[in-house]
Structures are given as structure tokens and as C-alpha cells.
Structure 1
Amino acid sequence: MRRFCRQEIDGFCVLALFVLTTCLVFTGLAAGWRLNKSCRFLDSTAHFDGRVYKILLEEGYNYESGSGGTVAFFPLYPLLGRLVAGLTGLSAVMSLILVSYGCLLAAYAVFGRYLSVRKTEETQPELPRPELSQEDTRSSPRRWDVSSWQGYAFLSLALWPTTFFFRMAFTESLFLLLALLSLYAIERQWPLIFIAGIMGVASASRPVGVALVLPLALHVMRQRSSARQRVEALAYLLPIACSGLIVYMAYLDFKFDDALAFAKAHDSFRMRGQVPLKEKLLALLSWEPVWGVYDPSQPGYWARFDPPNPLLNWKFMNPIYFGVGVLSTGWGWWRRWLTEYELALAVPLLAIPYLTRGFEMCMHSQARYASVVFPTYIVMGHLLVRVPEWVRGVTLMILGGGLFVYSALFAAGYEIY
């Protein structure tokens, strides 16, 4: 491993890490599936939301006011699955899995490039690297090896336990790719309309795609010198950045006479009843959804759900993974490890699910939502490179073990969700 970590990261290393972690996940899936053979092995990758995406691919959307339906799930992922199915003739689940794995591999490649071009004010000394000429520096991104903080950031992304969702029939890997590509485009100074276009596509993949508007607005503020230029640019860029959401709302209005059907359908999924807005806001400000998971008197108390081991219980771990995202974002910004664009993305990616669903769902799925906040892995890389080598090794082994275990529990039908 140490010998491998001294090699310079290239496409082969990215592919090798992708294959190794994929084998780890599929080994866990196989182990879990053997415990509960209630479905075909491949279908064990499509529990929970995966079943809905399968229905969307095969049957399309349905919605009845007050009953939820499938409109809460955004269209880009099932559309890509339908495209793959139409081109290959494969089953719905296999097509969705191919989309997930294709997006994940592309996200790995973009993350590697992004780590090479991002600019921060960090003062951490870097490992020696070959000198580049001034021309080479302008024309190509910096190169780095796995033993640098960038390498450990990449390993953290590959092994973080909740990223097993990136390999299931879920939309996480697609959104991760688009979020990474958006910030990469900003760092490379792509035309603003191209950047906004990428974000517009992202807004058709998940509701939190609108979080990308904040980095875009910040970039426009940096690119345009006068207030008038900024207003004019944002006037046409922001609609483009939200175009996926706008088109989806237009479709819902045309088909179901309700442009906000996706939001109303989300509200039908809840673990506690409706309360006055003031009570909800006070609960959110006091972090009641977080500590309520550990209070036996609360409806979201973790011990009411299987499995009984807290480390394996998703309800127990949801607030912890969410907290890791919040603390790492704050710590990374304070230590100047994160760029202002990464902060502008991480904050709404964490805040939007917490403010809109944290109370109603008692932090349900917050660990999954936090898994796409990739600045967390950048902070993890900085932390890991600063600890003794044996600590790094043990940490990576624990992360890999969690990736395996969560995959097994998911396939076995536990509410790892």
C-alpha cells in the first residue's frame, strides 16, 4: 500500500481504486443478499428509493393530491436510465446501476482533476514535486500523489461508508458528478453560461441542485466589477442554473395541474405530525432533530429501529454523519483548507435537507444527503496527512469496513437509508 501511495495519481490509479472499492461493495452486497434472498441479487441494489426509480423508468410519473405519488423524485436519473435501457435492452435496475457506476467513475476523474486546479489560501507545506516550466504551469494542472493530502482526500471519497449509495440505484453519484463539474468549471474559468448550464442540469437531478446557485452568484460577483454588470449577468444566469427545476415544474403543471406537486409529495413523507411553523423553527434552531434521535421520548428515537447495535443502526448514525459534515465544513473554512466556493456549496447542501426535512423525518436520510458534500473529503485529506501513518492506515481500514457492512445491511433489507 505504501509503495502504491508513492505513485503519482493517474487514470490507472483512479480506475484501480474504483474497481477495488466496487469489489468491496459487491462483496458486501453478496453477503447481505445471502441473509435475505427475498429478491434477485441485482434487485438488492434497488431497495427504497431504488424501487421508485425503477417504477419511473418503466411506468413514468403518478400523482394524486394528498397521497404523494412518485413526483417527489426528480427526472434526470430515471431519464438517463431509460436512455441506457433503450440503447442496450437491459433491465430497468441494470440500466440504473450502469448510470450510477458511470457517473461515479466520471466523478472520480473530475475530483482528481479538481484537486489539481483548486486554489486556496492554505499554508500547509506540500511534498516535493518536479519543477514545471512557466508554460507547463499555465497549460496543465498540478500533479500530486496519493501520499499528499489530495491523495487522502481521494481515498476518503472512495472509502467513506455512506458513499455505498453512489453504487446503488440512487441519484447520489449523478449529483456528485454534476456538483464537482460545476466547481471544476468555476476553477477553470469556463464561460459563465456553460457553468450555469451544468448547474441547470444538476437542478433536474435533485431538489438540492438549487444549492449550486450560491457558488455561481459568488463567481459572478468575482467576475463582474460593477453592480450593474452583476445584476445583468445574474438576471439571465440564475434562470439557466435553475432550468432543470423550472422545466420539471412546467411538466408537473402540464400533467398534474400543480407545478409544486414535488414539494407537496415530499411533505407526505414524515415521521411526525405537522406542527405550527414557529414550533418547527424553534426545534431546528435548538438542534432538537439531532439530539431527539437519542431521546427515548421522541418519535425518532433510534432504538425503535433495527438493527439494535447503534454503530450499525442508520437512525443512530444519521445525526453523526450530518455532524461530521457540519464540523468539517466549519473546521476546513477556519483552517483555510476550503475555498470560498466550496464553502458556498457545502453550507446549503447541508442546510437545505436539514431545514426542509430534518424535523419532519427526525434526521432520516441526513447521512445520505451529506455524502455528496465533497468538501468533507477534502478536509478529511488534510486531517489524515497530519496524523501518524499507523493512524491513517487504521482509519482507512475502518472506513472500508463500514463501506462493506453498510452494503451488506442494505442488501439484507435493513433500513440503511
Structure 2
Amino acid sequence: MRHTPVRERSVDRAPARYPWSLVVALFVVVTAGLTSVVAAVDAVRPSAGGTGQTWIDGWFQFDSGWYAGIAQFGYSYTPGQQSAIAFFPVYPLLVRAVAAVVGDVQLAGQLVALLSGLAAVVLVGSWAWRRLPRRSALLTIAVALTYPYTLFLHGTMYADGLYLLLAVGAFVLVDRRWYLAAGVVGALAAASRPFGIAVAVGLVVRILELLAQETGRTGWRDLVASVRRVRFRHAGVLVSFAGLLAWMAYLGAEFGNPLAFVETESSPGWNQGVGPRTWFKVAYLGLVHHGRWSLVANLTLQALACLVVVLLVRRITRLFGWGYAAYTVVVIAIPILGTKDFMGAGRYALAAFPALAAGGDWLAERPRWVAVVTLTAMTAAMVVLTWYFANGVEVS
């Protein structure tokens, strides 16, 4: 299979000037809208947040407590029980540093998450702006702003925004041939989320693809053949594997088990063990069998998000190349295979940023009403999910 490098596409290309101020303004509008929903719910049903401000505390739910605890007290691990080591370290360490300045861990965590989410959306839009026709790029920005699970970029004390920013940043750097810088940023991404290793894999494949492009041939066999063209400077991207290795080294030294983060996922309450019951979604099928339809609807929406990403892989390969496709495959395979019932998969799919752009490009090829209906439906879903989230219902 071959694909035409995106830089050779010339039809309706986006203008050189990227409207970053418009993206920022739209992000602020979405944040304000979702925060008003959260504040209204928290005024009636107070959350566990401790600032006393409904528009801040309503975002403090579920994993937020784990991250706040890590930022304050560090990591702990009790075999067979839910433990803090399930949450990777870059985000809580950054929160701890910011908390030393602002004086409050929760405020610091939500500030880091919000600013990271804003920067991530701006960077995703910029990345697409340089690779896609104008209509496709604009719809990419729209998809990034309305994808239902982007609610986690607008104020929750979660690591998703920071990871997305680091992942996109690593690929932007490698495309500019800043190999070591890409490796360092990739290492931070790999130490941010359990599926962060996808960045390291994607960067390696991207290097081989860039080398193959120099010969004018970009089939997968050409990628394999380009291994002989690798030089020492290209090895900088291998630093990206150091993020996961450093985390495992810490767990081994501190708790005697470098894979403790995998084992704790199997603990009671999480029950995300590795094996056929998880792979074949026995828990999900059990919910269907017992007719728990509200939860089934929640989980099915997340499963559909994963399915859409999988269906877009071929388009991602054609538009952006093998490196971005490899990243997307790894980043979406981990939640598909690693969750017992798809819970969390909708949020994890957000990390597959090339799929956001491929989705925007797909919409650009359809009649305008398809884009309007799709974006409206996603916006409505995001508002509904935000309302449920603020009410203490786990939505992803």
C-alpha cells in the first residue's frame, strides 16, 4: 500500500495563517458552557471538591481524588487493592509543582488540566492546518471541540489534556527533524498515561517513513528497507521509551514490582485483569444479559468511539502516513483489549488525535448537512455527559 504524502496535496489548501485566536475563543466558549452545567449541578449536589466554588468543585470527580492524593502525599501500593500507582506520574508531579505556587492542589490540578487542554486543541488544529485542505482543517478543529469526551479537557483534574499536548508535540517535533527533542517530549508522554508507549512506537515508525520519503517511495516494504538509512542522530526518538522504563524502574525500586501498575488494575472495583474475560468483554455482555440498559448505552457509546477510530485508520494512513497510523493503532488497541467493558475507552480514544483530523476530512467530503448534524449531535452528547459526570455518574 502506498499513500500520497500530504505535503503534495494542493487542492483547497488551508491558508498559511492559522486562526489560533479563533480556536482559543471557541475553546473558552465551550469551557464556559460546560462549566455552567457543572456549576448548576454542583449547586444542588455538591461534589467532593474543597474550594467552595461550584464552577470549580463540580469538575472534581472520580480520578481527580487519586491525582490530588498523589500530588499531596506521593505514591502508595497495596497488592490486591486499588492503589495510586495505577496513575502515571508526569501530571501529578506537575500539579505538585504548580500547587507550590498557587497554594492549593485542587486548583493547581484543574488549572494544569484546563491550560493543557486548551494548548492541546490549539496544537491539534495547527497540526491539521498544515496538512489538510482548508475545509478539512476547519472541521478538524470543530471535531476536536465537540467530540463528546473532550469534556475532560475543560476543567476536570485529569491527565488527558496534558497527555494529548505531549503526544501531538512529539510528532510535531519529529516532523521538523528535531529528533532528540521529540524523544524527550515522547518520554514525558509515555510517563503520562498507560497507553503513552504508543507515542514511542509511532515516532520510530515515523522516522523510518521520513527516511523512506527521501527516496520517493513510501510503501511498507520501503519503511523496512529504510532501516539501513538510520543514523545516530535519528536514535534520539528512542529516548521516548525511557518514560515507561523510568516509571517501571521506580516501581521496582520502591515497591519491588516494576509491573505493579498492571497488577493493581486487576484489584476489586477495577477488575481490569489481563485475559480472555477482558478481551472478549464478558462483563459488558453480562450487563446486556441482565438488562442494565442505561449503563449499556453509556458503554456502547464508548465502544462506538473506538470503532470509529478503527475505521479511520486506513484514511489516517493515506492522509498522514504510517507513523501516525501506527500510533493510532497502538493507542486504540490498548483500551479495546485492556478494558473489561469499554469503560474509559471514549476518553482514551481522544488520545488518537490523527483520527480527529481524519474525521474532519471525512466530513469535508460529505454534504454540509452531514457535518452540521454530526457536530450538533456530538455537542449535545457532550453536554449530556457533562451533566451526568457532574452528578457523580462515571461516563468514561
Deviation track 1:108-138 (CA, whole Å, cap 9, x = no partner) reads 222232123338xxxxxx5xxxxxxxxxxxx
Post-superposition shift, 1:232? 5.9
Alignment-derived partner of residue 164 in structure 1: 151
Give me the whole-angstrom Cα distance separating, in 2, the residues matched to 1:198 and 1:183: 9
Task: Tell whether 2:84 aligns with 1:70.
Answer: yes
Post-superposition shift, 1:367? 1.1
Which of structures 1 and 2 has the larger relative contact order (alpha carbons within 8 angstroms, sep 6+)? 1
Post-superposition shift, 1:233? 6.5
Post-superposition shift, 1:331? 4.6
Q: 1:327 aligns with which of 302, 306, 311?
A: 311
Task: Tell whether 2:376 aligns with 1:363.
Answer: no
Task: Tell whether 2:166 aligns with 1:185.
Answer: no
Q: Which residue identity does 1:116 align to in structure 2?
A: W
Alignment-derived partner of residue 20 in structure 1: 29
Name the CA shift for 1:402/1:9 in 2 (closer, same or farther; >3 Å).
Answer: farther
Which of 226-235 and 362-371 deviates more?
226-235
Deviation track 1:210-249 (CA, whole Å, cap 9, x = no partner) reads 11122222233245586455386677642x1122222222
Give me the whole-angstrom Cα distance separating, in 2, the residues matched to 1:87 and 1:384: 44
Q: Which residue identity does 2:325 align to in structure 1?
A: L
- Aligned pairs for 1:221-240 (under 5 A) are 221-222=208-209, 227=227, 230=230, 237-238=237-238, 240=239
Q: Which residue identity does 1:96 align to in structure 2?
A: G
- Unaligned ranges ≥5, structure 1: 120-125, 127-143
- Aligned pairs for 1:36-55 (under 5 A) are 36-40=45-49, 41=54, 42-55=56-69
Give me the whole-angstrom Cα distance separating, in 2, the residues matched to 1:228 and 1:116: 33
Alignment-derived partner of residue 214 in structure 1: 201
Alignment-derived partner of residue 331 in structure 2: 349
Name the CA shift for 1:7/1:182 in 2 (closer, same or farther; >3 Å).
Answer: closer
Tell me if the contact between 1:33 and 1:408 (Cα under 8 Å) persists in the aligned partners. no
Name the CA shift for 1:269/1:158 in 2 (closer, same or farther; >3 Å).
Answer: farther
Q: 1:316 aligns with which of 291, 296, 300?
A: 300
Deviation track 1:250-297 (CA, whole Å, cap 9, x = no partner) reads 22222222222212212225666968x5x45xx84xxx329x73x4xx
- Aligned pairs for 1:11-410 (under 5 A) are 11-40=20-49, 41=54, 42-89=56-103, 91-118=104-131, 126=133, 144=134, 148-167=135-154, 168-190=156-178, 192-222=179-209, 227=227, 230=230, 237-238=237-238, 240-268=239-267, 277=275, 279-280=276-277, 284=279, 288-289=280-281, 293=284, 295=285, 298=286, 303-304=291-292, 308=294, 313-333=297-317, 336-355=318-337, 357-358=338-339, 361-410=340-389
Give me the whole-angstrom Cα distance separating, in 2, the residues matched to 1:33 and 1:67: 30
Deviation track 1:42-101 (CA, whole Å, cap 9, x = no partner) reads 333121111100111111111122223111101111111111110121x21211111111
Q: Which residue identity does 2:85 align to in structure 1?
A: V
Q: Which residue identity does 1:77 align to in structure 2?
A: Y
Give me the whole-angstrom Cα distance separating, in 2, the residues matched to 1:393 and 1:205: 34
Post-superposition shift, 1:301? 5.8
Name the CA shift for 1:337/1:229 in 2 (closer, same or farther; >3 Å).
Answer: closer
Tell me if the contact between 2:204 and 2:323 (Cα under 8 Å) persists in the aligned partners. no
Name the CA shift for 1:229/1:302 in 2 (closer, same or farther; >3 Å).
Answer: farther
- Unaligned ranges ≥5, structure 2: 1-13, 212-224
Give me the whole-angstrom Cα distance separating, in 2, the residues matched to 1:266 and 1:343: 27
Computed over aligned residues only, the root mean square deviation of the Cα atoms, in angstroms, reads 2.9
Q: Which residue identity does 2:281 align to in structure 1?
A: P
Name the CA shift for 1:188/1:234 in 2 (closer, same or farther; >3 Å).
Answer: closer
Give me the whole-angstrom Cα distance separating, in 1, the residues matched to 2:86 and 2:288: 22
Tell me if the contact between 1:117 and 1:187 (Cα under 8 Å) persists in the aligned partners. no
Tell me if the contact between 1:208 and 1:352 (Cα under 8 Å) persists in the aligned partners. yes
Post-superposition shift, 1:8? 6.6
SS, match of residue 337 in structure 1: helix
Name the CA shift for 1:369/1:265 in 2 (closer, same or farther; >3 Å).
Answer: same
Give me the whole-angstrom Cα distance separating, in 2, the residues matched to 1:301 and 1:57: 41
Alignment-derived partner of residue 222 in structure 2: none
Deviation track 1:388-411 (CA, whole Å, cap 9, x = no partner) reads 333322322222222211111101
Give me the whole-angstrom Cα distance separating, in 2, the residues matched to 1:266 and 1:348: 19
Q: Number of matched residues? A: 364
Tell me if the contact between 2:82 and 2:270 (Cα under 8 Å) persists in the aligned partners. no
Tell me if the contact between 2:125 and 2:140 (Cα under 8 Å) persists in the aligned partners. no
Give me the whole-angstrom Cα distance separating, in 2, the residues matched to 1:27 and 1:75: 31
Q: Which residue identity does 2:69 align to in structure 1?
A: I
SS, match of residue 31 in structure 2: helix
